[in-house]
Amino acid sequence: MSGIFQSAFGYFSASNNVQNENSFVGQVIEISSVKLRIKRVIAEGGYAVVFVAQDVSTSVEYALKRLLAADEDSKKNVMQEVNVLKKLAGHPNIIQYLSASYIDKSKTSHGQHEFLLITELCTGGSLVEILQSRSTPFDPETVCQIFYQTCKAVAHMHSLPEPIIHRDLKIENLLISSDGTIKLCDFGSSTLEEFQPDLTWTSNQRSMLEDNMAKFTTPMYRAPEMVDTWNNFNVGKAVDTWALGCILYILCYMKHPFEDSSKLRIINANYTLPPDPKYSCFHSIIRGCFQVDPEKRLTALEILERLAAIAESNGYNLKAPLDITAQPTTSTPNDLLTNDLNNANGIRTAPPPRPVQPSPAHNVPRPPPPAASQSNPHPPPRPALIQNPPNKQPEPQKSIPSGGGGLFSSLKGVSGSFFKNLKDTSSKVMQTMQQSIARTDLDISYITSRILVMPYPSEGIESAYRTNHIEDVRLFLDSRHPNNKYSVYNVSGRSHYSKFGQARVVDCSFAYPEHFKAPLLNSLYQLCEDIYQYLAGDSRNVCVVHCVDGKATSATLVCGLLIYAGLYEVPEDALQMFAVCVVS
């Protein structure tokens, strides 16, 4: 890990312990009619030093970056950085520019152009320092919050009338303000230029471009098109997306995907995703960022949409201030183990409340709760558990906690919900939910992170022409949701000899009388209630709904569940949600 967390100049953190002697310290300077006393050095580099500067009249502290430019090219680069900061001023996730001053080299004692750049001082420290102090990665919610704020800054840069490319995005350039907000800094490598190599380019042109990239970028964060220009890929905004993928990977796994900066590994996107399922919700974003072809890479806006979908699926509050500090070294192993287990188990301190049950239009009789099936060949008018051995009772349902156990954190919990008015959102946002969960070769769709839909699993000869062999499905579910933390709801109308081990399997054929294409209303209500209670019993539980094709009949139950949960009142809205999440 030491290789990726090298100290980098350019961040304005008050927590840095750099205290080198400098003749500038102690002086009082005036910039824009404001007198500032230089208090101490907080970072140093070859051509620049960052100080804490205090307003003499108000005692407010700022970061002052003193840059020296020996030649015209260096002067141009510094002026570019200042101009970029001016253009980006006001965005909540970008270091705030306040003022700047310039002294011509003819008026300085050192014979170089001198720039004084005043910005806000991020007293929360640098993210790299906090990561260095930790023995375990952040929990998924914190990762989502940090990365969301980072992507907001990049998306803002890319969406300007003249898009700005940072070119040197890395974990070292992320600071934390006093109010717990991520701040992107160090725009010394940023540019407005994009390059499009083609067959007419000479080897000299390509070498010059690669040298330029090497000058302004960090090796392990470089995109393939920056390392090798012979593929004739566009060198533009997508280089920032690649770097964002590196940042997300580091936040999840505390290591860099290309730590050795190997050119061959980068141009082939040769990296490995650790098997830890804790961060599997981010895998599709990482893969989308690490596309060799920049045209196929996710954009910053698309990443934001996927992060919003992940937050909705897990009940994360993206607007909450970050509560992260350097991890104390006095933490005991037991404390760390407890925290890690809680995070791995998805335990949340404040789950969203359980929605109020809808009242049936008529006082219809309701079947009793699911029970283990008996030897009686005729199914009773209730959900039947056909999986558990006859001499073993199914796992009893836990009482519903006051918070609902985060059951529908994917759908409810905060005002302004991402899917609150689904019918009014754009089709582009609709498609995001479908893409936000990592897919496999199996025909399995995640409606949310805890509701899955698939076709009827095949066995025997049927598996020769149908997808989803039952063994493959079982292995998939056991790997994604270990310890039998899933319940299968069979609404296909066909019984099968299940091979799901000790997992809970509910035969829903009672809800569909013979020749009926739609379920009985009271039976549908009972199924929704049973799913709700099962998911509420454990935050790790998921439900798997399958019919013959994984569409029509499954859609009825899933959409009924969304309405039961209170997310939608109009069935068409629930159907639209289902449609964009299930692969056609």
Give the count of alpha carbons within 13 A of 323, CB side only.
5
**Residue 506: burial class (beta carbons within 10 Å; 0-12, 13-18, 19+):** buried
The set of residues, in sequence order, having a beta carbon less than 8 Å from that of 29 and lying 6+ positions away, is 35, 36, 38, 53, 116
Amino acid at 333: P
Handedness of CA 4, 170, 256, 144 (dihedral sign): positive
Q: How many CB atoms lie within 10 A of CB 62?
A: 20
Contact 37, 24 (CB under 8 A): no
CA dihedral 370, 372, 377, 380 (to 10 degrees): -20
Structure token digits, residue 176: 């934390």
What is the DSSP track for 52-88?
EEEETTT--EEEEEEEEE-SHHHHHHHHHHHHHHHHH
Instruction: Categorise residue 471: left if φ over 0, alpha if ψ from -120 to 50, beta otherwise.
Output: alpha
Q: Give φ, ψ of 538 to 5 degrees.
A: -155, 130
Distance CA 217, CA 169 (A): 8
Give the count of alpha carbons within 13 A of 581, CB side only.
31
Q: Which residues are catalytic?
A: 168
Amino acid at 51: F
Q: State how far the alpha carbon of 123 is from the alpha carbons of 83, 100, 143, 176, 183, in Å.
A: 24, 21, 20, 7, 11
Structure token digits, residue 58: 């108000």
- Strand spans (E) along 193-333: none
User: Strand 371-372 to strand 384-385: parallel, antiparallel, or no bridges (unpaired)?
Assistant: parallel
Structure token digits, residue 206: 């390509």
Amino acid at 273: L
Handedness of CA 270, 272, 273, 275 (dihedral sign): positive
The set of residues, in sequence order, having a beta carbon less than 8 Å from that of 344 and lying 6+ positions away, is 278
**Residue 389: burial class (beta carbons within 10 Å; 0-12, 13-18, 19+):** exposed
Alpha helices in 159-198 (DSSP H): none
Give the count of alpha carbons within 13 A of 93, CB side only.
18
